[in-house]
C-alpha cells in the first residue's frame, strides 16, 4: 500500500510567514539560529508525518528532520526523502546531516538546494516491504550565494556548496563543503577525491589571514576545514578545488564578519 | 670595614645605592650601579655605555649588551610601566623626560634580578626627589634651530617641617628636523608634556613616606619610520613608598599603579602617501591600545657584621588591550582588528639575596628570583583567532621561572675592584610575544604574530667588571659572554600578506653575545681631563644569522675643561660600519661608518643663572645610525642654546 498526501503550498507559506515574523533571519551566508521551523505536518493513513528544519530553507545546505508517528507506536524501518523542483524538473543532493546521526527519534538529513523557488520533498515512510506511506511537502527555498553549479561537459556537472557556521565570527570558523556530481540532474553522487585549498581574503584591506586549515574529506562528499578571520568586515573565501587529473574549479564566496 | 666603593668617571659613577646608606655601623647592602646624571636621553644612554633604537628624534628604545624590549626591565623609581603600542612606538623610556629625572642607573652585573629577569637587567630612572629645608625654583628654556626644537621647564620645590614637595613640568615641541646635508625628515616633529610631582614626609627619624606621580602626554610622537603618528599617548604612574624599620630591620615597601593609553592614526598623512605606501595601501588605520599595571614591591634586610640577607617580593598585574579600526580612503570599506585581546598577566616573585664578606677584600653575593605567572586571554574571539593563527590554544597558562646570579668582588683598594659573576636569568614571554597579533615591524617590513605556546627564555652569562683608580686615571672595563637559550624571535613564517611576511614568534636558536666596553679617564690637571670609551657588541644565532639592530663598534674621545664659572666638553665619536647584519630573521641594511663632533658648554655668569650650549654633529655629517629603524637619517647639525634661572627663594 502506498498512500500520497499533498500539502498546499499556501499553507506552508502561511506557516513560514508566521515563523518568519518571530525574528528568524538570514543573509547570504549566515543563518541566525532559529527555533525549529515546522515545514509541514500531515496525516496519511493514520501516520502523522512532521517535517521540520532548524532554519528557513535556502539555497545551499539545509538540515531537515522527518518524524513519523502511528497510534500503535510502530517504528518505521526506513525513511527517505527525494527532492523535485517541479518548474525545472530536476532534483538536488540529499546528504547525511553534518551535525549528528541520520537516525534517532527522527530521521535527519541535509538537502543541498540548488536554486531558490518552490520545491517538493517526497517523504517515504516505510514500515515493511508492503506498508509504506508517502507525503509530499511543498516548500519554498530562499536565495543564497552558497551553491555553485559547475558544468564540466555535456556529461558531467558538479554541485559545490559551502556550509558556513551558524554565525561567522572573528577567529577560527569551521567550514564545510559538499561536492556532488550528477549526469542527469536527478541523481547525485558524492565526490570524494577532491583536494581543496581555501584562501580567505579581505579585498578592501588587501590581505588574507593565517591559521587556516585546508578542508579534507570527512564523509561522502563532505569536506571540513577551518577559516581564521583576523578582523571584522567583508571577506571572501576562495576555494581552489582540484581533482586528480587537474583543477576542477576556483570558487569565491562572500562573507561578512560582524 | 666598609663595603662601599666609589668610582667616578666623567658623568658616570659606580656607587652604592643612595637609599641604602646608613650610619649606625651596620654593613650596608651595596648595589654597584652605573649611574648617569640627567641629560638628554641619548646623551645619558651614551654616557652609560648604552645605545638606543632610533625611530626619529624622540622616544628611543634603550639597548644594552645587544638586547632590548622584553629582555630589559625598565622602571621608574622601581615602578613598572608597560608600553601599550603593539608597534613599539612607546618604549617605557618615552614616558620619562630626562629633565625630570635625577639619574639613570643600572647594575653592572649582567643581570640585575631586582625587578625582572631579562638578559639585559634593569634600567631604573629615578625621578626628581623633593628636598627638605629648601624652597627653590628652576626655570629653563632651550632652543635648537634644527627643527625649531623648543624645550621649557619649570621646577618648584618647597618644604614645611618634615615634609617636602616638588613639582616639575617639561614641555617639548619640535617640527621636522633636518638631516645632515640638508634634507628634512618628514614626520619627525614631536610634542610632549611631562609632569612629575612628589611629596615626602619623614614620620620620624626612621620612617619616610613618599608619594610620586608622573604624567606624560604626547600629542605627536614623531616617528618618521612608522606608518602612523601618535596623536595622543598619555601615561601615568602613581605610587606610594614607605621606608622604615620594623623591629630594627630595614623595610622598604612600594605600592603603585601605572597606565598607558596610546592612540595613533593617519590624520597627518596625506592621502597620496597612504594610497602609495608599502604596507596596506589605501587604508587609514587608527589604533588604540592601553595597559594598566598594578604593582607591589617590598623588601626587608637582616644583617650582622659580615653578611646581609635581603628578602623581597615583587608582584605585578598587567591588563592590556589593543585594537585597530581600518577604513579605506573612499570610506566604503571598514574593518576592525584586535591586536591584543584583553590580556591579564599576574605575576609574583620572591627574591632572596645574600651578601657575605668571605675575607676583608672579597664579597660574595648570591641572588635568586623565583617568578610565578598566571597569564590568560579574556577575549574569546581573539583567543580563537590567535590560536588558529599561531597554531596554539594555550590561552591560559601558569608558569614558573627561576633565575639566579652569583658573583665575587675583590676589592684591591678603596677605589679599585674586580667582580666576576655567573648568572642564569629566565624570563616569561612578554604579553606581546605571547598574545600580540598583527604587529608591524617596519625595519624589516614584517608582521609579527604572538605565540601562546612560547616557553620561557633562559639566558646564561658570565661577566667581569674591572674598576681601577690609579693616581689621576680611572678606568673601567667590562667583558661579557652570554647565551640566550630558547631565544624568542619571529623565526616562523606563516605566510605572505600584502607585501609583508607574517612571522610567528617561536623559541628559536640560541642567541650568543659577546660584549666588551672600556672607559678610561685621565685628569691632566685641576681643570682638564681627557677620556675615551670603546664599546663592541656581537650577537649571533650560531651559523644561522646575526642578530638585528646590534650597534657597531663605537669609540669616543673627549676632553673636559672646567673653570670656576665655565665648563666645556668636546667629544669625537667614531662609529664603524656595521657589516654583521641580520639577513634571515630581520633583514636589515649595512650601514657606513661615520664621525661626529659634539661640543657642550656651560657658563655660570652669576648665581642662579646658567647659559648652555649643546652642539651636536657640528660637521653636519649625513649618516644613518645602524639602530635607526628603516634607516632614517640622523639629525644634522644641532645647536641648542639654553638658559636656566634658579632663583633663591
Chain A residues in contact with B436 by the CB 8 A cut-off are none
Q: Are A156 and A131 members of one domain? A: no
If you measure CA to CA, which chain B residue comes closest to A233? B335
Q: Which H, E and C letters describe B181-197, residue by residue?
A: CCCECCCCCEEEEEEEE
Q: Are A153 and A128 members of one domain? A: no
Residue to mutate among B327, B328, B335, with most A CBs inside 10 A, is B335
Residue to mutate among A169, A171, A173, A226, with most B CBs inside 10 A, is A171
Go through B6-44 and write b for each residue having 16 or more CB atoms within 10 A of its CB, e for each that does not.
ebebbbbbbbbbeebeeeeeebbbbbbbbbbebbebbbb
Q: How many CB atoms lie within 10 A of CB B396?
A: 13
Give the integer Cα–Cα distance in Å for B231 and B223: 11
Q: Are A14 and A120 members of one domain? A: yes
Q: Do B387 and A211 touch (CB under 8 A)?
A: yes
Task: Name the average pLDDT for chain A.
Answer: 83
Last residue of a domain, one of A107, A141, A175: A141
Backbone phi and psi for residue A230, each to the nearest 5 degrees, phi listed first: -90, -10
Chain B residues in contact with A210 by the CB 8 A cut-off are 389, 449, 494-495, 497, 502, 504
Domain count, chain B: 1
- List pLDDT tens digits, range B380-429: 999 999 999 988 778 889 999 999 999 998 988 777 889 899 999 999 99
What is residue B49's predicted lDDT score, i.e. its pLDDT?
A: 65
- List pLDDT tens digits, range A225-240: 999 999 999 999 999 9
Q: Do A234 and B387 touch (CB under 8 A)?
A: no
CB B111 within 8 A of CB B423: yes
**Could you say which of B282, B449, B497 has the minimum Cβ distance to residue A208?**
B497
CB B100 within 8 A of CB B127: yes
If you measure CA to CA, which chain B residue comes closest to A226? B388
What domain range includes position A108?
A: 2-141
What is residue B35's predicted lDDT score, i.e. its pLDDT?
A: 61
Q: Are A192 and A111 members of one domain? A: no
Cβ-based neighbours of B333, under 8 Å, separated by 6 or more: A203, A204, A205, A233, A234, B327
Chain B nearest CA to A210, separation (Å):
5
Q: Are A98 and A222 members of one domain? A: no
- List pLDDT tens digits, range B175-195: 999 999 889 998 888 899 999
Domain count, chain A: 2
Residue to mutate among B278, B281, B337, B500, with most A CBs inside 10 A, is B337
Chain A residues in contact with B391 by the CB 8 A cut-off are 211
Q: Are A85 and A126 members of one domain? A: yes
What is residue B25's predicted lDDT score, i.e. its pLDDT?
A: 41
Domain membership of residue B466 (yes or no) is yes
Q: Are A71 and A43 members of one domain? A: yes
Higher pLDDT, B539 or B500: B539
Q: Are A60 and A117 members of one domain? A: yes
Last residue of a domain, one of A114, A141, A168: A141
Cβ-based neighbours of A223, under 8 Å, separated by 6 or more: A176, A177, A178, A179, A194, A196, A215, A216, A217
Domain membership of residue B176 (yes or no) is no
Inform me whether the C-beta atom of residue A169 falls under 8 Å from chain B C-beta atoms.
yes
| 338-367 in chain B: CB under 8 A from chain A | 338
Backbone phi and psi for residue A76, each to the nearest 5 degrees, phi listed first: -70, 145
What is residue A24's predicted lDDT score, i.e. its pLDDT?
A: 32
Residue B630 DSSP class: G
- List pLDDT tens digits, range B223-260: 777 767 777 889 999 999 999 999 889 999 999 999 99
What is residue A116's three-state secondary structure?
Answer: coil
CATH number at residue A107: 2.60.40.3340
Q: Do B384 and A172 touch (CB under 8 A)?
A: yes
Q: Are A22 and A126 members of one domain? A: yes
Pick from B433, B375, B370: nearest CA to B402: B370
What is residue B38's predicted lDDT score, i.e. its pLDDT?
A: 57
Rounded (to 5) percent helix, strand, coil in chain A: 5, 60, 35
Cα end-to-end distance, chain A, whole Å: 53
Q: Do A169 and B384 touch (CB under 8 A)?
A: yes
CATH number at residue B446: 2.40.170
Q: pLDDT band for position B169 (50/70/90)? A: very high
Whether the per-residue pLDDT at A106 is higher than 90: the answer is no
Question: Picking from B46-60, B141-155, B427-441, B626-640, which range would have the lowest pLDDT averaged per residue?
Answer: B46-60
Q: pLDDT band for position B44 (50/70/90)? A: low
Whether the per-residue pLDDT at B649 is higher than 80: the answer is no
Q: pLDDT band for position A52 (50/70/90)? A: very high
Inform me whether the C-beta atom of residue A202 falls under 8 Å from chain B C-beta atoms.
yes
Pick from B54, B91, B69: nearest CA to B260: B91
Q: What's the average model confidence in pLDDT over B507-523?
A: 94
C-alpha cell at B271: 592621502
Q: What's the average model confidence in pLDDT over B489-501?
A: 87
Q: pLDDT band for position B20 (50/70/90)? A: very low
Give the integer Cα–Cα distance in Å for B177 and B637: 10
CB A221 within 8 A of CB A192: yes
Domain membership of residue B587 (yes or no) is no
Lookup result for grid cell 512532521: A50
- pLDDT over 90, % of chain B: 61
Pick from B514, B487, B489, B513: nearest CA to B503: B489
CB B9 within 8 A of CB B519: yes
Whether the per-residue pLDDT at B209 is higher than 60: the answer is yes
Q: Are A108 and A231 members of one domain? A: no
Q: What angle do CA B439, B442, B444 make, to 5 degrees?
A: 105
Chain A residues in contact with B282 by the CB 8 A cut-off are 206
Chain B nearest CA to A73, separation (Å):
46
Pick from B198, B37, B79: nearest CA to B131: B198
Pick from A106, A105, A107: nearest CA to A96: A107
What is residue B144's predicted lDDT score, i.e. its pLDDT?
A: 95
Chain B residues in contact with A207 by the CB 8 A cut-off are 280, 497-498
What is residue A2's predicted lDDT score, i.e. its pLDDT?
A: 47
Task: Name the average pLDDT for chain B.
Answer: 87
What domain range includes position B352?
A: 7-131+183-544
CB A164 within 8 A of CB A256: no
Inform me whether the C-beta atom of residue A256 falls under 8 Å from chain B C-beta atoms.
no
Q: Are A122 and A57 members of one domain? A: yes
Q: Are A164 and A193 members of one domain? A: yes
Last residue of a domain, one of A141, A175, A209: A141
Chain A nearest CA to B494, separation (Å):
6
What is residue B45's three-state secondary structure?
Answer: helix
Q: What's the average model confidence in pLDDT over B136-148?
A: 94
Domain membership of residue B268 (yes or no) is yes
What is residue B10's predicted lDDT score, i.e. its pLDDT?
A: 30
- List pLDDT tens digits, range B250-275: 999 999 999 999 987 776 667 887 88
Q: Do B336 and A205 touch (CB under 8 A)?
A: no
Amino acid at each position: 500500500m502506498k498512500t500520497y498526501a499533498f500539502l498546499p503550498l499556501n499553507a506552508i507559506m502561511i506557516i513560514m510567514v508566521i515563523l518568519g515574523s518571530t525574528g528568524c533571519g538570514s543573509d547570504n551566508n549566515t543563518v541566525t539560529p532559529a527555533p525549529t521551523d515546522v515545514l509541514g505536518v500531515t496525516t496519511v493513513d493514520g501516520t502523522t508525518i512532521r517535517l521540520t528544519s532548524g532554519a528557513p530553507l535556502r539555497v545551499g545546505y539545509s538540515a531537515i528532520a522527518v518524524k513519523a508517528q502511528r497510534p500503535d507506536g510502530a517504528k518505521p524501518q526506513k525513511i527517505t526523502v527525494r527532492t523535485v523542483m517541479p518548474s525545472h524538473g530536476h532534483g538536488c543532493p540529499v546528504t547525511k546531516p553534518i551535525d549528528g546521526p541520520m537516525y534517532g527519534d527522527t530521521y535527519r538529513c541535509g538537502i543541498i538546494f540548488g536554486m531558490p523557488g518552490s520545491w517538493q520533498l517526497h517523504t517515504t515512510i516505510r514500515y515493511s516491504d508492503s506498508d509504506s506511506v508517502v507525503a509530499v511537502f511543498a516548500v519554498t527555498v530562499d536565495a543564497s550565494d552558497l551553491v555553485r553549479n559547475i558544468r564540466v561537459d555535456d556529461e558531467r556537472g558538479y554541485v559545490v556548496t559551502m556550509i558556513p557556521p551558524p554565525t561567522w565570527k572573528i577567529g577560527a570558523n569551521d567550514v564545510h563543503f559538499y561536492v556532488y556530481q550528477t549526469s542527469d540532474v536527478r541523481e547525485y553522487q558524492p565526490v570524494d577525491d577532491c583536494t581543496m585549498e581555501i584562501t580567505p581574503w579581505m579585498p578592501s584591506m588587501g590581505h588574507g589571514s593565517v591559521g587556516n586549515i585546508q578542508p579534507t574529506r570527512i564523509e561522502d562528499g563532505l569536506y571540513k576545514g577551518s577559516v581564521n578571520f583576523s578582523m571584522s568586515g567583508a571577506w571572501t573565501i576562495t576555494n581552489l578545488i582540484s581533482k586528480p587529473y587537474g583543477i576542477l574549479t576556483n570558487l569565491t564566496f562572500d562573507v561578512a564578519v560582524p | 670595614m666598609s663595603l662601599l666603593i666609589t668610582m667616578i668617571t666623567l658623568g658616570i659613577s659606580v656607587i652604592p645605592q643612595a637609599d641604602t646608606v646608613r650610619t649606625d655601623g651596620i654593613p650596608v647592602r651595596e648595589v654597584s650601579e652605573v649611574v648617569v646624571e640627567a641629560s638628554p636621553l641619548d646623551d645619558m644612554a651614551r654616557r652609560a655605555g648604552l645605545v638606543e633604537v632610533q625611530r626619529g628624534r624622540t622616544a628611543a628604545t634603550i639597548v644594552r649588551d645587544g638586547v632590548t624590549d622584553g629582555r630589559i626591565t625598565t622602571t621608574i623609581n622601581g615602578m613598572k610601566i608597560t608600553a601599550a603600542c603593539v608597534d613599539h612606538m612607546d618604549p617605557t623610556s618615552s614616558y620619562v623626560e630626562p629633565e625630570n629625572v635625577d639619574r639613570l642607573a643600572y647594575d653592572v652585573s649582567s643581570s640585575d634580578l631586582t625587578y625582572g629577569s631579562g638578559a639585559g637587567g634593569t634600567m631604573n630612572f629615578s625621578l626628581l626627589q623633593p628636598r627638605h629645608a629648601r624652597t627653590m625654583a628652576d626655570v629653563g628654556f632651550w632652543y635648537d634651530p634644527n627643527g625649531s626644537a623648543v624645550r621649557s621647564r619649570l621646577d618648584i620645590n618647597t618644604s614645611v617641617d618634615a615634609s617636602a614637595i616638588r613639582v616639575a613640568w617639561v614641555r617639548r615641541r619640535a617640527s621636522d628636523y633636518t638631516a645632515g646635508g640638508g634634507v628634512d625628515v618628514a614626520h619627525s616633529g614631536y610634542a610632549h608634556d611631562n609632569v612629575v610631582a612628589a611629596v615626602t614626609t619623614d614620620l620620624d627619624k626612621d620612617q619616610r613616606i613618599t608619594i610620586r606621580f608622573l604624567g606624560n602626554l604626547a600629542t605627536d610622537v614623531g616617528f618618521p619610520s612608522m606608518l602612523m603618528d601618535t596623536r595622543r599617548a598619555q601615561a601615568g604612574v602613581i605610587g606610594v613608598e614607605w621606608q622604615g624599620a620594623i623591629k630594627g630591620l630595614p623595610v622598604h615597601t612600594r605600592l603603585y599603579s601605572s597606565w598607558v593609553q596610546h592612540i595613533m592614526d593617519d590624520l597627518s598623512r596625506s592621502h597620496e602617501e597612504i594610497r602609495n605606501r608599502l604596507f596596506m595601501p589605501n587604508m587609514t588605520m587608527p589604533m588604540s591600545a592601553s595597559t594598566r599595571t598594578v604593582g607591589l614591591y617590598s623588601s626587608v634586610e637582616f644583617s650582622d657584621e659580615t653578611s646581609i640577607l635581603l628578602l623581597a617580593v615583587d608582584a605585578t598585574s598587567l591588563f592590556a588591550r589593543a585594537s585597530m579600526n581600518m577604513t579605506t580612503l573612499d570610506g566604503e570599506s571598514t574593518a576592525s582588528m584586535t591586536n591584543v585581546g584583553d590580556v591579564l598577566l599576574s605575576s609574583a616573585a620572591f627574591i632572596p639575596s645574600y651578601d657575605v664578606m668571605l675575607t676583608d677584600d672579597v664579597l660574595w653575593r648570591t641572588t635568586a628570583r623565583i617568578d610565578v605567572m598566571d597569564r590568560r586571554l579574556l577575549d574569546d574571539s581573539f583567543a580563537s583567532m590567535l590560536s588558529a593563527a599561531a597554531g596554539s590554544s594555550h590561552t591560559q597558562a601558569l608558569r614558573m621561572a627561576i633565575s639566579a646570579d652569583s658573583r665575587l668582588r675583590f676589592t684591591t683598594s678603596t677605589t679599585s675592584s674586580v667582580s666576576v659573576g655567573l648568572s642564569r636569568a629566565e624570563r616569561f614571554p612578554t604579553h606581546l610575544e605571547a598574545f600580540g597579533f598583527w604587529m608591524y615591524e617596519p625595519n624589516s617590513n614584517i608582521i609579527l604574530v604572538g605565540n601562546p605556546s612560547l616557553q620561557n627564555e633562559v639566558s646564561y652569562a658570565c661577566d667581569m667588571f674591572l674598576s681601577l683608580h690609579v693616581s689621576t686615571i680611572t678606568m673601567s672595563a667590562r667583558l661579557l659572554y652570554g647565551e640566550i637559550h630558547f631565544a624568542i624571535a619571529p623565526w616562523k613564517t606563516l605566510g605572505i600578506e600584502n607585501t609583508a611576511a607574517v612571522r610567528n614568534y617561536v623559541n628559536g636558536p640560541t642567541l650568543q653575545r659577546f660584549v666588551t666596553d672600556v672607559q678610561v679617564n685621565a685628569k691632566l690637571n685641576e681643570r682638564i681631563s681627557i677620556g675615551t670609551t670603546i664599546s663592541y657588541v656581537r650577537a649571533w644565532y650560531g651559523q644561522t644569522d646575526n642578530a638585528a639592530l646590534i650597534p657597531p663598534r663605537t669609540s669616543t674621545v673627549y676632553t673636559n675643561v672646567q673653570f670656576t664659572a665655565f665648563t666645556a666638553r668636546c667629544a669625537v665619536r667614531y662609529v664603524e660600519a656595521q657589516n654583521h647584519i641580520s639577513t634571515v630573521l630581520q633583514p636589515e641594511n649595512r650601514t657606513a661608518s661615520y664621525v661626529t663632533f659634539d661640543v657642550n658648554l656651560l657658563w655660570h655668569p652669576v648665581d642662579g643663572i646658567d647659559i648652555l650650549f649643546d652642539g651636536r654633529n657640528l660637521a653636519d655629517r649625513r649618516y644613518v645610525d645602524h639602530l635607526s629603524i628603516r634607516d632614517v637619517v640622523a639629525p644634522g647639525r644641532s645647536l641648542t642654546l639654553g638658559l636656566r634661572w634658579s632663583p633663591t627663594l
